[in-house]
Structures are given as C-alpha cells and as structure tokens.
Amino acid sequence: MRYLPIHIDLQNKTVIIVGGGPAAEAKLRTLIKTDARLVIMSDTPSAEILRWADEGRVEITDEAAFETATLIYAATESPADNLNIAEKARALGLPVNAADQPAGCDFITPALVDRSPVTVSIGTEGTSPGLARALKSDIESRLPSDLGQTAQTIKGLRDTLKLEEPDIAKRQAFWAQVLGSGLGDYANLDSEVINARYNAARHTAITSDDRAGYVHIVGAGPGDPDLLTVGALRVMHSADVVIYDRLVSEEVLSLCRREADYIYVGKIPGGVSTRQEEINRIMVETAQNGATVVRLKSGDPLVFGRAEEEFAALDAAGIDFTIHPGITAATAAAASLRHSLTVRGENTAATLATGHDENGFAELDWTALAKPNARATIYMGLRAARFIQGRLLLHGANSATPVSVVENASRANETILSTTIGALSDDLISSGIKGPAVVMIGYDVRSVRAKMKAAS
C-alpha cells in the first residue's frame, strides 16, 4: 500500500484550488461537501464556479496566498502549469494534488460514498478509475441514504451508555449485539430501529432469535434488472428470506442475497397456484421467526398484485413493512413502444385495467374506452382479447384504432404485435404470443427498435 487513506479535518481550514475550468470543477464537486473555506485562483472561472461563488460557497481571487492553505489543488487545464504549481506548493512545504499528474501529487482524493458523517473512500492508487466508480456504485446501492442520521443516533446513545457502563469491553459487546454484523443488516439500520434495539438490549439480553422480523414488499419490475430501484436492490441484498412470484425474472432473482432462503409462490393462470392465504401465512410466519423478508412481486407491487391482502395479513399479525415501488408492465411496455402513456391534447386519462377479475372476464367502462383517443393498458388481457375486442366494437370503437401487444416487456425475448381493434384477436392467435403481455388500446409503435412480431 503506497497511499494511506486518512480523513483530514477541514473545518476552519483553507483549501486553494488553482484553475477555473472542468478540472477544477471536478475537484470542487467533492471539496464543496466539506466544511473547508474554498479559495479558487482563476481569472476565467466557469459558470458553475461563479454560481457557487454567488451562493457564498467558494471565493474567487486572482492571487491567493498559498501559505494560508492546508491543501493545494493544481487543477488548471494545462498539465505543465499544474506541475509548476505543485513545485511552488512543495517549496512551501504544503501537500499538493496536481490534476492528472501523478508526479505532482502528494495525495489523491478517493472516490467517495458520502453519508456524512459516515464516508467510505475508495482508492485504486490510480490504477483504475473505472473500477473505483464501479465499486462506488455498488456500495452506494447498499448503504441506506439516512445512514448518516443513524450514525448520529448511535453517537447519542453511545454517550448515554458511557455514563451508565464504565466497562469498555462490555460496551463493545453491547454494540456488537445491537448493530449486528455484515452487510445484510444495513438496510434496516435506521434511527428508529437503532433506538428500539438499544432499548431492548438494555432491558433484556436480546439474542438474534427474538429480533423482530420485518417485511419489504418489493417491486421487481418487468424483468430487466436495470429497472430495479436502488432501494429495492439494497433490501434484496439484506434478505434472509425471499418470497417471489412467477413473473419475477431469473436475472432479478439472482441479485438477492445468495444465502437467503428462497420460497416460490407463483400463481399460474388457470393452473396450479399457491393460494393467497398460503402466501400470507408464509410471509407472516417467516417474519415472526425474526427474518428480514423480501416479498418480491413482479412490476409494481401496487398494480394488480393483491398487495392490499398481504398488507392486511401483516397488519393483523402486527408485523411492520415497507413498500418499494417498481416499474409496472405498462410503463415498461410504453417505453418499448417509444410512446408516452399520456399525450397532451389527446388523452386525459391512461387507464390501467385488468382483463380478468374474480368473476371471469372483467367488465370495464367500455363506453369510455371506445371513444376516439381513449388509451388503456390491459393486464392479463390475452385470454380476454376476443371479449375486449367485441365489447369495444359494440360500444362504437373505430375498428382501425391501433392496438399494441407487448410481450415480455423489457426482457431479451420481448416481442411486440402491432395490430388494430378490428384485427386484435385473429392477429393474437397467429402471432403465437403467450405472455406475459399487456394489450395496449390506442397505442401504436413509434419505431422498430424493438423486435417486431408481424402477424402472418
């Protein structure tokens, strides 16, 4: 290890940045988060730097007194100038960083994950900035955004405990018990949880067995892992148990914590299914055993996912839960069609409807949906397609109205059938589309970037 990572206190200290262009701006994006007084030496500062100066976050000067500084950054756009500045700083005994000039660097600024006061710095000693960025984004996704606040809560509790428990070894053991270990726990580590665990541990000797379980209801999106939220990914890494549906893709599932228990609760349309009551029971029981449960549901859990029944079961059992929204099939499919779900001046509503409900084919507001410019995305609409077509035509829809059927939206095997209300059910049959698919009334395809399935 050639470079030692250290954290320098910059409160009430001056940092001088020589340069006012992109190189200086890049350094400033990190420096501006510190408490340092930032002095920029430049006669041509960029618009962004001027804006920071207007906000009072930096000072701009023609000539700065190096000897007043704790750190110097030589960040002009000229490598030769940067080396000269570095020499000047070194002559004064000041640590300097010359942009893109390893020979002019006494220190380097690492890639940072900032949850101040918690910071994680990542350095590769200049070998691979790309690797540093990849590590940063991985760590970013794992650490909750309020980790800094959690650290402040812990500090307050530490101060209290110090007064109550003089034995340092006992205090350390206590904190190991409260904070747990390993990445898995971070997702749940907010101030509320810390306070609760602290109190529990102070009054009873808690063991990991009577830790309260928790459920995360997580939107897995339509299949492409790129469509997961950062929060979803974080709790997926923390799962003890993953309860997942049929339409959750392999790629998404493989991003859950490897050591977790996986429980499949798929419902096959018209086939063998896990009953909703059974799903609720499994979810409640695993949480009651103290597990962090990730209930992974396809798309957005709040769209045709029977989520309300799961919430009711959790409420009844007194189990706390968080909902992590996901990308629903309609928005993913619209993105594939390269169309907006709502178009100004055309449709004032974009209906999300189901082709099926507990009584069979769903009766929708056909009068509204048959109107010109009406737009609707129908989930579970394949088997109901002929019925939907018949109802729309009966209510006066124009048979030439475009309809797109998007199958496996966002997945590698995505297909799009481009048809009309009049030809919908015949074209569906000849296309061989099996689903999962959404039937999008009033939507055509903007372009052929996606693979098209032509009706024969």
CB of 329 to ligand SAH, least distance (A): 3
For the residues of 146-164, what is the DSSP string, one character each? THHHHHHHHHHHHHHHHHH
* Cβ distance to ligand SAH smaller for residue 96 or 384: 384
Report angle CA 76, 77, 83 to the nearest 5 degrees. Answer: 60
CB of 219 to ligand SAH, least distance (A): 7
10 Å CB burial of residue 10 (0-12, 13-18, 19+) is middle
Taking the CA atoms of 5, 10, 16 and 21 in sequence, report the sign of the dihedral they define. positive
Taking the CA atoms of 311, 317, 318 and 319 in sequence, report the sign of the dihedral they define. negative
Give the span between the Cα atoms of 27 and 366, in whole angstroms.
59
Site for ligand SAH in 146-175 (CB under 6 A): none
Query: Binding residue for ligand SAH (CB under 6 A) from 141, 292, 351, 408?
Result: 408
CB of 145 to ligand SAH, least distance (A): 24
Catalytic member of 13, 136, 267, 371? 267
CB of 362 to ligand SAH, least distance (A): 12
436 is an interface residue for ligand SAH by CB under 6 A: yes
CB of 446 to ligand SAH, least distance (A): 18
Query: Binding residue for ligand SAH (CB under 6 A) from 380, 403, 433, 450?
Result: 380
CB of 381 to ligand SAH, least distance (A): 6
Query: Binding residue for ligand SAH (CB under 6 A) from 75, 178, 329, 376?
Result: 329
Site for ligand SAH in 332-351 (CB under 6 A): 333
Query: Binding residue for ligand SAH (CB under 6 A) from 299, 310, 366, 369?
Result: 299
CB of 300 to ligand SAH, least distance (A): 4
Q: Which long-range contacts (CB under 8 A, 24 or more apart) does 202-211 make?
A: 206/177, 208/180, 208/290, 209/290, 210/290, 211/290
Closest CA to 356 of 438, 300, 423: 438
Q: Determine how many CB atoms are found less than 10 A away from the CB of residue 15.
A: 21
213 is an interface residue for ligand SAH by CB under 6 A: no
260 is an interface residue for ligand SAH by CB under 6 A: no
Give the span between the Cα atoms of 230 and 432, in whole angstroms.
36
376 is an interface residue for ligand SAH by CB under 6 A: no
| Residues pairing with 263 in the sheet | 243
Active site residue 185: no
What tokens does 72 get? 């110097």
Give the span between the Cα atoms of 344 and 401, in whole angstroms.
18
Give phi and psi for 394, each to the nearest 5: -60, -35
Query: Binding residue for ligand SAH (CB under 6 A) from 157, 287, 438, 445?
Result: 438
222 is an interface residue for ligand SAH by CB under 6 A: yes
From start to end of 247-317, where are the E strands? 261-264, 292-297
Catalytic member of 240, 245, 300, 427? 245
CB of 245 to ligand SAH, least distance (A): 8
437 is an interface residue for ligand SAH by CB under 6 A: yes
How far is it between the farthest Cα atoms of the chain? 88
Cis peptide before 436 (omega within 30 of 0): yes
Only one of the segments 41-49, 137-145, 199-207, 408-416 lies at the binding site for ligand SAH (rule: CB under 6 A); that segment is 408-416
How many residues bind ligand SAH, per CB under 6 A? 24
379 is an interface residue for ligand SAH by CB under 6 A: yes
Q: What are the CA-CA distances from residue 196 to residues 180, 203, 250, 283, 319 (Å)?
A: 14, 11, 36, 23, 15
305 is an interface residue for ligand SAH by CB under 6 A: yes
* Cβ distance to ligand SAH smaller for residue 403 or 406: 406
Query: Binding residue for ligand SAH (CB under 6 A) from 38, 49, 85, 409?
Result: 409
304 is an interface residue for ligand SAH by CB under 6 A: yes
Only one of the segments 133-141, 154-162, 299-307, 362-370 lies at the binding site for ligand SAH (rule: CB under 6 A); that segment is 299-307
Cβ atoms of residues 46 and 77 within 8 Å:
no
Site for ligand SAH in 388-407 (CB under 6 A): 406
113 is an interface residue for ligand SAH by CB under 6 A: no
DSSP state of 273: B
- Per-residue burial over 32-58, b if 16 or more Cβ lie within 10 Å, else e, is eeeebbbbbbbeebbeebeebeeeeeb
Residue nearest to ligand SAH according to CB distances in the complex: 299
CB of 400 to ligand SAH, least distance (A): 24
Give the span between the Cα atoms of 167 and 297, in whole angstroms.
47
Active site residue 267: yes
10 Å CB burial of residue 379 (0-12, 13-18, 19+) is buried
Beginning with the edge strand found earlier in the chain, give each strand of the sheet holding 14-18 in spatial order.
59-61, 37-41, 14-18, 71-74, 96-98
Only one of the segments 1-9, 149-157, 257-265, 431-439 lies at the binding site for ligand SAH (rule: CB under 6 A); that segment is 431-439
* Cβ distance to ligand SAH smaller for residue 16 or 384: 384
Q: Which residues bind ligand SAH (CB under 6 A)?
A: 222-223, 247, 297-300, 303-305, 328-329, 333, 379-380, 406, 408-411, 435-438
**Which residues are identified as catalytic?**
245, 267
